[in-house]
Structures are given as C-alpha cells and as structure tokens.
Amino acid sequence: MTTLLLGGHGKTALQIAAILRASNQSFLVASRTASAGSTYTHAKFDWFDERTYESPFLKASSEGMKPIASVWLVAPPIFELAPPMIKFVEFARAREVKRFVLLSASTIEKGGPAMGQVHAHLDTIKGIVYAVLRPTWFMDNFSTAGELQQLAIKNDSKIYSAAGDGKIPFISAKDIAKVAVKCLTNGNLQAKEYVLLGPKLHTYDEVASIISGVVGREIVHVKLSEADFTKHLISRGVPLSDAEFMAIMETGIKNGGQESLNDVVEEVTGSPPETFTDFAFRHKECWM
C-alpha cells in the first residue's frame, strides 16, 4: 500500500521519504509546490483549498501506485489548524484510508490546543489505526538553512533564547522519522501516543559549546528575558503572536518543563536516538 506524506518540504517528511525509498516502499509527497530537483512522486496539496484534497489519490492512481493506506499528518502553520486537518481526515477516511500518524508536540496533550484537537478527533474514530508523535525540540532547528537559529549561529556566532539554564532532550528529525515509518507501515502499533525525546538533556549553553567544538570558533548563548526574546524574534520578522507564543514556550523550558528523558525511540526502532554531538558533526557545514 502507499503512504501519503503531507508537509512534503518539511523536516520530517523528507526524512521519512528517504527511509521509505531506501526500503522500496510506495509513497508520495504532497505540498503546495514541488521541490526543485526532487525525484519523489509529488501531488499538489493545500490545506486551505479543498479542491486539492483529491489530488494525492488521483496521483497515486495515475502513477499506477497502490491505494493510499496511511497518511503522515503535518499541521499547516496557523493556530486554528484543527478544522482543515479534521476535514481532510474525514475526506481520506471516505477513500478507505485507515491509518493516520499525526505530528504533534511534547507540550500538547490530547484535547489541548492546535494538534491536541486533531489528536482528540482521531481518538473518537472507530475502525482506524492512529498514532500521535509528540517530539520535544528539534535539533534540526539549529541546522535548517534560513531558519533563525541557523542564521544566528552562522552569521553572528550566537544562539538567542529565553530558556536560561533550562534543559531540553533535543531530538533529530531523523529519529522522529524512524518512529514515524514504524507507525505508518507496521501492522501493529505498541501505543497510540509516543512522546519522543533525545538521549541527553542539554542547556543552550551546552549546545553552544558543542557547536563551538565542531566549527572551531566560539558560539555564545545569549540569555534574554521573555520580553526581550519576543522583541528579538519580531526584529527578525516573526509575527507578534508567534513571537509571544515562542517566548512563552522558552520560559516553560527555563522553568523545567522539558527536563525529562525516556527510551521510546529505542523501544520503537531498536536503536538509541542520535546525540547532539553526532548531529552537530553531521551538519557542520551549515554553520561554516
């Protein structure tokens, strides 16, 4: 059967696609536009244009692929994301899709805001298999070209945060993808919800030190107040509401909200998650 990967340009979808291709499994990626140079089968998809909801199913049929049986759900970048996501879930169900895997976040419980509403909806549906992945902060936020942390490290040799000395079990998108593939393709799921954490707790000071050792120059963690971090984000083009939300999340880290570890990644995949040091060496060039 075929797996549909929504958010086709995203950190996780690209990693999932690479794993599925390497194992010769059928899949297609969907997004508003195709990536230049991509060799993956692509279908146009826009959360805010219901006319595109049919596109992945038509594409799978026209390409002679097996029917879409599982969907990787990645939310659109808005707060009121639940209505279009739930609408598409119901659309897919009407086309015999019976497996959904939702990318949520470690801070969002079932029934909570945003992805928590989609999580709650999936839990009410009979006759489907679903899993919700709730990863902590991505290591990839430091390395993805053009994102704020990557630019600050590369151009200013700085990491800005309002997290103080709070600790985070950073996880790589690669490890999230490994768990996602298991959930999307395996017959039986061990659970409906997976909180995904990296192998070690790190402060931003420690992250700066690790990257410093990798790139051979000093990277400094600039500790800001919640208000000053909000201003910093706005100065970098982040909308006010998003900046305020991100600053609140950082304060949660400062207060110990992410200070925990588990073995879920290894239990599901059979391999321990990547360390931040290994990740940093793998992505060294993005900071040079």
- The answer to whether residues 229 and 130 belong to one domain is no
Q: Determine the pLDDT at residue 34.
A: 75
C-alpha dist (Å) from residue 144 to 18, 53, 184: 17, 28, 25
159/142 Cα distance (integer angstroms): 9
Over residues 91-128, the pLDDT tens digits come to: 999 999 999 999 999 999 999 999 999 999 999 999 99
Within 10 Å of residue 89's Cβ, how many Cβ atoms?
21
Q: How confident is the model at residue 188 (pLDDT cuts 50, 70, 90)?
A: confident
Residue in the block written with tokens 């470690």? 106
- The answer to whether residues 210 and 164 belong to one domain is yes
User: Does position 252 have pLDDT exceeding 70, yes or no?
Assistant: yes
φ and ψ of 196, to 5 deg: -105, 120
Q: Using an 8 Å Cβ cutoff, are 74 and 103 in contact? A: yes
How confident is the model over 175-184, as a mean pLDDT?
Answer: 97
* Relative orientation angle of helices 82-93 and 115-124, to the nearest 10 degrees: 30
209/231 Cα distance (integer angstroms): 25
Residue 107 sits in a domain whose CATH number is 3.40.50.720
Q: How confident is the model at residue 186 (pLDDT cuts 50, 70, 90)?
A: confident
Order of strands, edge to edge, in the sheet holding 2-6? 42-44, 27-31, 2-6, 68-73, 99-103, 129-135, 193-196
Residue 155 sits in a domain whose CATH number is 3.90.25.10
Over residues 120-147, the pLDDT tens digits come to: 999 999 999 999 999 999 999 999 999 9
- The answer to whether residues 202 and 124 belong to one domain is no
- The answer to whether residues 105 and 241 belong to one domain is no
Over residues 160-171, the pLDDT tens digits come to: 999 999 999 999
What are 208's two structure tokens?
A: 């700066």
Domain count, the chain: 2
Q: For the ranges 7-11, 112-116, 214-218, which has the lowest average pLDDT?
A: 7-11
Q: Is 185 domain-assigned? A: no
H-type alpha helices, the chain: 11-22, 55-62, 82-93, 115-124, 148-151, 173-185, 204-215, 226-235, 240-254, 264-269, 276-282
- The answer to whether residues 131 and 230 belong to one domain is no
Q: Determine the pLDDT at residue 37.
A: 63
How confident is the model over 53-64, as a mean pLDDT?
Answer: 96
User: Does position 187 have pLDDT exceeding 90, yes or no?
Assistant: no
Within 10 Å of residue 9's Cβ, how many Cβ atoms?
14
- The answer to whether residues 94 and 59 belong to one domain is yes
What are 113's two structure tokens?
A: 């805001």
Q: How confident is the model at residue 9 (pLDDT cuts 50, 70, 90)?
A: confident
User: Does position 267 have pLDDT exceeding 80, yes or no?
Assistant: yes
Query: E strands within 128-188?
Result: 129-135, 158-161
Question: Which of 139, 161, 163, 165 minimizes the C-alpha distance to 152?
Answer: 161
Q: Three-state SS for 273?
A: coil
101/92 Cα distance (integer angstroms): 13
Burial class (CB in 10 A: 0-12, 13-18, 19+), 77: exposed
How confident is the model over 205-221, as a mean pLDDT?
Answer: 98
Percent of the chain with pLDDT over 70: 99
Average pLDDT, rounded, for the chain? 95
How confident is the model over 258-278, as a mean pLDDT?
Answer: 97
- What is the pTM for the complete model shown? 0.95
Domain membership of residue 45 as a residue range: 2-135
How confident is the model over 211-237, as a mean pLDDT?
Answer: 97
How confident is the model over 212-216, as a mean pLDDT?
Answer: 98
Q: How confident is the model at residue 4 (pLDDT cuts 50, 70, 90)?
A: very high
- The answer to whether residues 127 and 158 belong to one domain is no
Domain boundary pick from 135, 153, 183? 135
φ and ψ of 40, to 5 deg: -80, 145
- The answer to whether residues 7 and 108 belong to one domain is yes
- The answer to whether residues 87 and 217 belong to one domain is no
Q: Determine the pLDDT at residue 213.
A: 98
Q: Determine the pLDDT at residue 36.
A: 62
115/74 Cα distance (integer angstroms): 9
What are 173's two structure tokens?
A: 């998108």
Residue in the block written with tokens 């997976």? 194
Report the phi/psi class of residue 86: left, alpha or beta, with left for phi > 0 and alpha for psi in -120 to 50.
alpha
- The answer to whether residues 148 and 278 belong to one domain is yes
Domain boundary pick from 117, 135, 153? 135
